[in-house]
Amino acid sequence: MFKNSAPLSRWLSPLRRYFRHELLPLLADLRLAIGLLLAIALLSALGTVIEQEETVAFYQAHYPEHPALFGFLTWRLILKLGLDHVYRTPWFLALLILFGSSLAACSFTRQWPMLKVARRWSYLTRPHSFQRLPFWTYLPQQSLQGLPQRLRQRGYVVFQDGSRLYARKGLIGRFGPILVHVSMLLILLGAIWGSIGGFKAQELIPSGSVAAIEHVTGAGDLARLPTWQMRVNRFWIDYAPDGRVKQFYSDLSILDGGQEVKRQTISVNHPLSYRGVTLYQADWSIDSIRIRLNNSPPFQIPVVPVPTQAGSKLWGAFVPTRPDLSEGLTLLLPDLQGTALLYDTQGQWVGSLRQGMSLALDEVAPQRFPKPLTLHLDEVIGATGLQMKSDPGIPLVYLGFGLLMLGVVMSYFSYSQVWALETEAGLYLGGKTNRALVTFEREFAHLVEQQLLSSPPSPAKESPPAARVSGTESLANG
């Protein structure tokens, strides 16, 4: 056991030296962090401009080879470089990991040592030590009497040992930068975990049907699809008076193990969440119609989208009027309000029909339908378009942003320190701060003024040379 420890120690010692003296300083370099941050921002902007998680046909249509966008950006280049899923590419995740390592190295090599130095303090025991401070003065024939109370009133934590005094406030400001770094690490960790463990999917589910999550448009390497199912109890649309779609709704049930565990009506901007998966109302369509001819049993006919020049939505279906399917009508549906338009095989308008009503074809078109024939439109079955997203890194991202705001606020607290030394000749007083120098100078001057007015003078002694306070003559000797 002990025989192998010496060679192992000799092997690890150079590795530790390389890590501490070469790798850590390189990672903590501010220039590297800024470069990585700019690269991440540029790639994030690129992922915002280029549509993500679309089909190959989409990129072929929008980024053709002739002419290429900007002369070089084609669908082949986009797919080859992974620009269709920027945030899940290995090189983007590698940049996030490298930037996180840089932040961690900066925290350990700079921020944490600064905090440890701030928590350590010592008294100043020699008068000449005060001359190194940016703010200092000498008050002849003065003592420490009343100074600790005045410092405590200003929020300082006071330490006193006989004729020596040390006070500080704003130590929380030293924790602010560290908390900012920790929050950014959490945000990066959440983004990485969401990229490798999350997924996106889309489903078009007819009203009254049950479906599972199957049509995945993008997923990380560690993503797992849920085993529960979704049931669309009902789908409907609210229309404005001018016929525009105002809002569409889906009454959904989550079935886990065959049992309903959650039920909620969703709409645009009002999703449903279950076990880390969020279901959004994204689209809608018409799936089928249920009709009857005369007294026949109802039968269901699927409808298909019909392209229009105006780009508006339109669905059509062929309605047979003979058992051998040799003749029939074309039924067109512009929306889910239930009004259907009927045309014959020559494209001539036959009539219109609303959901739940019937139309006597032999009366509206007696030449084409000489025998009694009544068409009943029992139901127009809509389909809801759902978008499913799972991002396990969202809690970490939210926590990181919360800590980031807290850390920024904490960083605004000034870390101020005050030293005092009472001698036989008088009182030496000095201080420094890391920010808000003007405010601290005013506070220091007011503190000196109060000390002069309230502290009783001690027996006259020979005064040392005049001191200076931040480049101005000493208050005691001015």
Question: What is the model's pTM?
Answer: 0.72
Confidence of residue 423 (pLDDT cuts 50, 70, 90): very high
Position 266 confidence tier, pLDDT thresholds 50, 70, 90: very high
User: What integer pLDDT is reported at residue 462 of this predicted model?
Assistant: 45
Q: What average pLDDT is seen over the chain?
A: 87
pLDDT value, residue 366? 86
- The mean pLDDT of 414-442, rounded to a whole number, is 93
User: Which one is predicted more confidently, 182 or 464?
Assistant: 182
Query: What is the helix (H) or strand (E) element at residue 270, kind and residue range?
Result: none
Which residues fall within 8 angstroms of residue 151, CB to CB, at 6 or more apart?
158, 167, 418, 447
Q: Is 443 left (phi over 0), alpha (psi -120 to 50) or beta?
A: alpha
**Range of weakest confidence among 152-166, 173-187, 419-433:** 173-187
Helix 172-197 to helix 90-106 angle (10° resolution) is 160
Residue 242 pLDDT = 80
The predicted-structure confidence for 340-395, as pLDDT tens digits, reads as follows: 999 988 888 999 989 889 999 988 888 888 889 999 999 999 999 999 999 999 99
Work out the percent of the chain whose per-residue pLDDT is above 90: 57
* 311-335: average pLDDT: 87
pLDDT above 70 as % of the chain: 92
Supply the pLDDT for residue 430: 96
- Which pLDDT score is estimated for 67? 86
pLDDT of 249 strictly over 90:
yes
**pLDDT over 50 (residue 323):** yes
How many other CB atoms are found less than 10 A from the CB of residue 248?
A: 21
The yes-or-no verdict on residue 461 having pLDDT over 50 is: no
What pLDDT does residue 470 have?
46
Q: Where are the alpha helices (DSSP H) in 147-270?
A: 147-153, 172-197
Inter-residue contact 220 to 197 (CB < 8 Å): yes
Q: Give the pLDDT score at 429.
A: 96
- Write down the pLDDT at residue 478: 31
Contact between 373 and 186 (Cβ < 8 Å): no
- Range 264-288 average pLDDT: 94
pLDDT at 6: 58
Q: What is the pLDDT of residue 456?
A: 57
Q: Is the pLDDT of residue 2 over 90?
A: no
Cα 70 to Cα 178: distance, rounded to the nearest angstrom: 43
Parallel, antiparallel, or unpaired: how do β-strands 229-239 and 245-256 relate?
Answer: antiparallel
pLDDT at site 9: 65
Mean pLDDT of 61-77: 88
Kindly state the average pLDDT of the residues 282-306.
Answer: 92
Tell me how far apart the alpha carbons of residues 262 and 79 are, in angstroms, rounded to a whole number.
39
CA distances from 150 to 145, 454, 465 (A): 10, 11, 27
Sheet of 210-212: strand order equals: 210-212, 229-239, 245-256, 259-267
